[in-house]
Structure 1
Amino acid sequence: MPHFYFDVRAGTEVLSDPDGFELDSLEGAEQEATQTALALGRDWLPRTREVCVEVRDEWRHLRLILSVALRVKRLD
């Protein structure tokens, strides 16, 4: 089973995943990254405008970047 790492970026903050875990496929890793980004976004988006989850494979090659962003457009 493939091994994936999920590193998180929020503003200038970077949290590296030291252990990662096994999932069936890259599609499964994408689903996991989506859930992670949404959960973190609830807490972090008021402080930063974007949360990114970088998915890396077992060789630490970047395979996917998933972003959740908060955009504010003020109208006069």
Structure 2
Amino acid sequence: MVKRLTKHGNSLALVIDRGVLDLLEIDADTPLSMTTDGKCLIVTPVRDPERQKQFRAALEEGHRKYGKMLKRLAD
């Protein structure tokens, strides 16, 4: 999908199609984080910190339980 920036006052805006918004489950009230790797603009929705905390806890638990087995499988 190729997009063009549109003039919005003294700034430029990127219009995101409804299908993409629905797919990412974002709307006008969703905070977005913008970063770059020096060549690309990366826009990601900012997710609930409590949900992130729960995810990290589950990831650590999985690593604690299965980390050694997964390492052996990778070797």
Same fold per superposition (TM over 0.5): no
After TM superposition, the score normalised by the length of structure 1 is: 0.29
* Structure with the higher fraction of residues in helix conformation: 2
Determine which structure has greater relative contact order: mean sequence separation of CA pairs < 8 Å that are 6+ residues apart, divided by chain length.
1
* Structure with the higher fraction of residues in strand conformation: 1
